[in-house]
Structure 1
Amino acid sequence: MINVHIARLDDGSIEGFSIEGHANFAKAGRDIVCAGVSAVTVGTVNSIEALTGVELDSKMKNGFLSARLTEPLADSVSSQVQLLLESMVVMLESIAASYGKYIRVEQGNN
C-alpha cells in the first residue's frame, strides 16, 4: 500500500508531504496506481520549482518521496505554491477514491 502524509501547519497550509510504499496493484512496470502517484507527486515538485522558483527540500528513493518547504515565502509566491500543493492533494484523493485498497491519504499537523 502507498501511504501519503500531507503535513499541514496550524493555518491549514501545506508544509510538505511524504509518500512511501508500493501499491502492488500490478507487476512492476504495469502498476498504474504507482505510476499515477509518482507522476502526480514528482510532477508537483517539478512544477513548483519550474513555475515559482521555489526549491523544496526533497528526497527520493525507491518507494519513497518527501518534499518540504524550508523557508517562509512572499505571499504571492506562497499562494502559487499552495495552489499547486492543494491540486496535488485533489489528484491523490481522486486516485484513492478509485483505488483505495492500494493508497491511503492522511492529512494533519506535522
Structure 2
Amino acid sequence: MITVTIERDHEKKIVRYLVDGHAEFAEAGKDIVCAGVSTLTIGTVNAIESLLNIELPAEMHNGLLDVEIPKIEKREISDQTQLLLESMVVMLKSIQESYEDYLKIINKLV
C-alpha cells in the first residue's frame, strides 16, 4: 500500500508531503495506482519548480518521496503554490476512492 502523509501548519497550509510504499496493484511497470500517484506527486514538484521558480527540497528513492515546502514570502506565489498542492490532494483522493486498498492518505497537523 502507498501511504501519502500531508502535513499542514496551523493555517492549514501544506508544509510537507511524504509518499511511502508500493501499491502492489499489479506487477512493476504495469501498476496503474503507482503510476498515477507518482505522476501526481512528482509532477506537482516539477510544476511548482517550473511555473513558480520555487526550489522544493525533496528526497526521492525507491518507494519514497519526501517534499518540504519552504516558507514563501510573496503572498501571491505562496497562494499559487498552495493551489497546486491542494490540486494534487484532490487528485490523490480521486485515486483513493477507486483504489482504497492500495492508497491511504493521512492528514497531519504539525
Cα deviation, 1:43-97, whole Å, max 9, x if unaligned, reads 0000000000111110000100011112333101000000000000001110000
Tell me which residue corresponds to 2:9: 9
Aligned letter for 1:21?
Answer: G
2:54 aligned with 1:54: yes
Unaligned stretches of 5+ in structure 2? none
- How large is the RMSD of aligned CA atoms in angstroms? 0.8
Tell me which residue corresponds to 2:30: 30
* Aligned-partner Cα distance in 2 for 1:73–1:96: 33
> Structure 2 length as normaliser, TM-score?
0.97
Count of equivalent residues: 110
Structure 1 outlier segments of 4+, above 3 Å = none
* Aligned-partner Cα distance in 2 for 1:69–1:30: 31
Aligned letter for 1:75?
Answer: R
Tell me which residue corresponds to 1:79: 79
Unaligned stretches of 5+ in structure 1? none
Percentage identity across aligned positions? 48
* Aligned-partner Cα distance in 1 for 2:20–2:90: 18
Tell me which residue corresponds to 1:99: 99
Tell me which residue corresponds to 1:19: 19
